[in-house]
């Protein structure tokens, strides 16, 4: 049958129902940016919780909130004045502050002046801070300064888009400073906030913020599979260049000098210093002396390195003094060198740590004549380096006159009691250095010295005050006093600083050395043996050396931190922080090992080998194929979720609408009208009596199936099925 419709000229029956015009998308944002509050719509905001009210804030406020999470994470490595300037700039953009200006023209003129003055002053401040126009931290600080300056011209939505896009770059610059787990979580959270601000910018008129979190989740879930594919398959190419941080900020750790209290303070910190992994056998904990610095100068208060012996060897052929030290050990006493890897946390210093006695062939790492490791540049980021341990080495079998004088030097005055005791004990030992060492140990044991992290204060005569008055101290007290006593008897001696011991990680495969393991010991030069390690702390607290600082703290409890309520609080705080640190460091270790450490070698030896990928082209093809597959899958899922699901009774009418719409789109069903209304519209526009009669029967059957008695009948009801079949037949006849 032919279907003849007469076209209606009236737009009232042929166009879709008009949608109310939206307000200008820029209106609300511009009003807030100029300090004027937009008209509030009637809503149930007062009934919403604080979280929903926060999510439903206008886009202008979301842009400002986001900047806090972009700027504040840089406080640990950028100048504090720049961070303060950023916070003040954010506060200055609040509508209440902008509203204080009488006119918009006056607001823009003053803010433009502040913007230019702030930018130029910031450039000068960065130059004074870094003393250079180049450098990684200088570049990051300049990028942040540009973002802060842009905030002073936040008037239009396009300004907000520029600010948010620049914010993503400022957030990503955090990875140039550190790739740790905490930094990654900070950047991820900041990126989520920026994304919420983008969503708010495109969600004008939604005062309740309904659906913003759902949109964020949809975007995040869609992006995660692609992120995994790119992480696994993107080629790990070596960097074409590298840049170095200026290292303006120091961190907690062993410093280049030692005085009373330094190591005691470190030993109350559970912060991680470095990790060590041994591929095979490992030494006993009592032999884990992590050598870092050698102190030969003493001014009566502070020990420091001697400038005349700080030369280093930087790769190439093995120096003569190192080869002689290795060959000096008799064959019967030689041990197989032990190889291991150290993962050092940033220290902003040049010195590295290794077991007595360390040697590394890595480029940029050298060894000094005191058998300490040095790096050509400060350690500004987490550093991995391989070390070889040579045990049973003889250091300086013959001691030069200059070094002898350096390691015998004492202040000309002071500590007379200690000098007299040294001469007395040395004479009683028949001037034998080894017997003299034993005599000092016996005297310390008989005098009842005490090991504590909270020693009493010392007077100006520090050695005398410790040996004859307080008799309580930490490793630096014992190492300093013992070395002084050796020198007072004419025996060359020096102090070595580093770490001792450590504890096994929760995974049981890595040793974790913390700041609490900071330690100082002595080295004494004996004729025919060279430098020999003597740890005077073991005279008083042998468990500190045998089982580590952790075991000693558990044994002595709060007594390690002094006496009274304050000691109890310090001990409980120490235990709580220690537990949290261990869990955090374990998570950080696996992050560094499996995520940050997922380099070219791991990619080639694991994933690419498993998939039999032999070239970069194959790798890129795999990556692109998986990425396209994932994107297509996500798109399909979104389409399936959002497509309209029709009732079985509606499907025949929808199909009829599509057939009619091919010849005349104005006669097709509109989403804004009901199907019964649409059928009536078709009846009113057709001139064929048979078609009008069929449409009327379709309307009757549709009412019975959707709103009448049959609407409650089960789908397999015979009457329901026969009526539905009749409706389908009539609908299919109309063409």
Contact 425, 441 (CB under 8 A): no
Residue 341, φ and ψ in degrees, nearest 5: -125, 140
Which distant-in-sequence residues (6+ apart) come within 8 Å of 93 by Cβ?
A: 33, 64, 151, 152, 154
- 19 vs 1: CA distance, rounded Å: 37
% helix, strand, coil for the chain, step of 5: 55, 10, 35
Contact 625, 232 (CB under 8 A): no
Burial of 560 (0-12, 13-18, 19+ CB in 10 A): buried
Q: Which of 519, 585, 694, 701 is catalytic?
A: 519
Query: What is the DSSP secondary structure assignment for residue 77, as one 8-state letter?
Result: T
Residue 397, φ and ψ in degrees, nearest 5: -60, -35
Count of Cβ atoms closer than 10 Å to residue 620 Cβ: 14
Contact 384, 341 (CB under 8 A): yes
- 354 vs 668: CA distance, rounded Å: 81
Say how many CA atoms lie within 13 Å of 438 toward its Cβ.
7
Angle between helices 181-201 and 157-172 (to 10 degrees): 170
- The answer to whether residue 475 is catalytic is yes
Helix (H) or strand (E) holding 494: strand 493-500
Q: Which of 475, 477, 517, 694 is catalytic?
A: 475
Say how many CA atoms lie within 13 Å of 361 toward its Cβ.
6
Looking at the chain, the number of H-run helices and the number of E-run strands are: 30, 17
Count of Cβ atoms closer than 10 Å to residue 22 Cβ: 9
Chain length of the chain? 735
3-class secondary structure per residue, 268-287? CCCCEEEEEECCCCCCCHHH
Query: In degrees to the nearest 10, what's the CA dihedral of 345, 346, 350, 354?
Result: 0
- 91 vs 536: CA distance, rounded Å: 58
Burial of 93 (0-12, 13-18, 19+ CB in 10 A): buried
Contact 64, 32 (CB under 8 A): no
Could you give the C-alpha distances from 120 to 117, 125, 166, in angstroms and in order? 5, 9, 19
Measured distance between the N- and C-terminal CA atoms of the chain, rounded to whole angstroms: 7
Contact 169, 143 (CB under 8 A): yes
Closest CA to 359 of 332, 330, 329, 387: 387
- The answer to whether residue 535 is catalytic is yes
Closest CA to 236 of 571, 620, 584, 518: 620
Could you tell me the sign of the dihedral formed by the alpha carbons of 100, 105, 107, 109, in that order? negative
Contact 318, 360 (CB under 8 A): no
Bond before 297 cis per omega within 30 degrees: no
Burial of 562 (0-12, 13-18, 19+ CB in 10 A): middle
- 677 vs 86: CA distance, rounded Å: 60
- 251 vs 234: CA distance, rounded Å: 34
Q: Which of 137, 178, 517, 535 is catalytic?
A: 535
Helix (H) or strand (E) holding 70: helix 59-71
**Cross-strand bridge partners of residue 526:** 530
- 494 vs 521: CA distance, rounded Å: 9
- 587 vs 423: CA distance, rounded Å: 54
**Which residues are the active-site residues?**
475, 519, 535
């Amino acid at each position: 049958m032919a279907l003849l419709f007469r076209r209606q000229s009236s737009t009232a029956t042929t166009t879709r129902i008009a949608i109310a015009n939206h307000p200008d998308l820029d209106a609300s944002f511009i009003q807030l940016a100029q300090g004027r509050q937009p008209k509030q719509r009637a809503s149930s905001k007062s009934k919403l919780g604080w979280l929903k009210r926060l999510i439903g804030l206008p886009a202008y406020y979301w842009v400002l909130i986001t900047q806090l999470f972009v700027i504040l994470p840089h406080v640990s490595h950028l100048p504090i004045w720049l961070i303060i300037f950023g916070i003040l700039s954010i506060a200055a953009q609040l509508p209440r502050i902008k509203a204080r200006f009488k006119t918009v023209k006056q607001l823009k003129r003053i803010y433009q002046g502040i913007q230019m003055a702030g930018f130029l002053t910031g450039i000068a401040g960065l130059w004074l801070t870094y003393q250079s126009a180049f450098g990684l931290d200088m570049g990051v600080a300049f990028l942040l300064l540009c973002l802060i300056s842009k905030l002073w011209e936040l008037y239009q939505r396009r300004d907000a888009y520029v600010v948010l896009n620049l914010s993503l770059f400022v957030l990503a610059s955090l990875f140039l400073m550190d790739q740790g787990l905490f930094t990654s979580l900070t950047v991820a959270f900041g990126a989520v906030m920026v994304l919420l601000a983008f969503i708010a910018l495109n969600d004008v008129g939604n005062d309740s913020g309904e659906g913003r979190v759902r949109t964020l989740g949809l975007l995040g879930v869609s992006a995660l599979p692609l992120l995994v594919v790119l992480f696994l398959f993107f080629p790990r190419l070596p960097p074409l260049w590298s840049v170095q941080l200026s290292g303006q900020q120091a961190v907690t750790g062993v410093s280049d000098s030692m005085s009373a209290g330094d190591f005691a303070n470190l030993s109350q910190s559970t912060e991680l210093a470095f990790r060590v992994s041994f591929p095979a056998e490992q030494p006993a904990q009592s032999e884990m002396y992590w050598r870092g610095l050698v102190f030969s100068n003493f001014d009566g208060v502070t020990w420091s390195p001697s400038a005349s012996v700080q030369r280093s060897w930087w790769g190439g052929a093995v120096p003569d003094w190192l080869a002689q030290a290795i060959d000096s050990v008799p064959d019967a006493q030689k041990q197989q060198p032990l190889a291991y890897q150290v993962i050092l946390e940033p220290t902003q210093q040049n010195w590295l740590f290794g077991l007595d006695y360390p040697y590394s062939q890595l480029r940029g790492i050298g060894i000094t004549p005191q058998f300490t490791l040095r790096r050509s540049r400060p350690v500004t980021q987490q550093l991995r380096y391989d070390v070889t341990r040579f045990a049973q080495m003889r250091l300086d079998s013959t001691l030069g006159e200059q070094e002898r004088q350096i390691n015998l030097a004492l202040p000309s005055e002071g500590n007379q009691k200690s000098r007299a005791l040294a001469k007395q004990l040395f004479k009683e030992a028949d001037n034998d250095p080894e017997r003299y060492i034993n005599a000092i140990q016996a005297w310390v044991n008989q005098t009842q010295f005490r090991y504590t992290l909270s020693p009493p204060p010392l007077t100006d005569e520090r050695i005398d005050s410790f040996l004859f008055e307080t008799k309580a101290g930490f490793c630096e007290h014992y190492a300093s006093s013992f070395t002084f006593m050796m020198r007072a008897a004419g025996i060359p001696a020096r102090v070595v600083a580093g770490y001792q011991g450590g504890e096994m990680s929760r995974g049981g495969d890595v040793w974790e050395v913390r700041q609490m393991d900071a330690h100082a010991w002595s080295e004494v030069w004996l004729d025919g043996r060279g430098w020999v390690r003597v740890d005077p702390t073991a005279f008083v607290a042998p468990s500190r050396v045998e089982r580590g600082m952790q075991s000693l703290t558990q044994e002595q409890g709060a007594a390690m931190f002094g006496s009274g309520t304050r000691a109890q609080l310090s001990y409980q705080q120490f235990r709580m922080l220690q537990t949290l640190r261990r869990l955090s460091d374990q998570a950080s270790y696996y992050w560094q090992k499996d995520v940050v450490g997922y380099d070219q070698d791991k990619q080639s030896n694991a994933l690419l080998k498993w998939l039999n990928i032999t070239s970069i082209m194959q790798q890129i093809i795999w990556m692109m194929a998986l990425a396209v597959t994932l994107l297509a899958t996500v798109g399909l899922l979104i389409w399936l979720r959002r497509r309209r699901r029709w009732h079985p009774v509606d499907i025949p009418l929808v199909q009829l609408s599509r057939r009619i719409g091919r010849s005349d789109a104005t006669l097709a069903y509109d989403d804004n009208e009901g199907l019964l209304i649409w059928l009536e519209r078709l009846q009113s526009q057709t001139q064929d009596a048979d078609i009008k009669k069929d449409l009327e029967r379709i309307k009757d059957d549709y009412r019975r199936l959707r709103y009448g008695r049959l609407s409650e009948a089960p789908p397999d009801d015979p009457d329901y099925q026969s009526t539905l079949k009749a409706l389908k037949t009539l609908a299919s006849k109309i063409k």
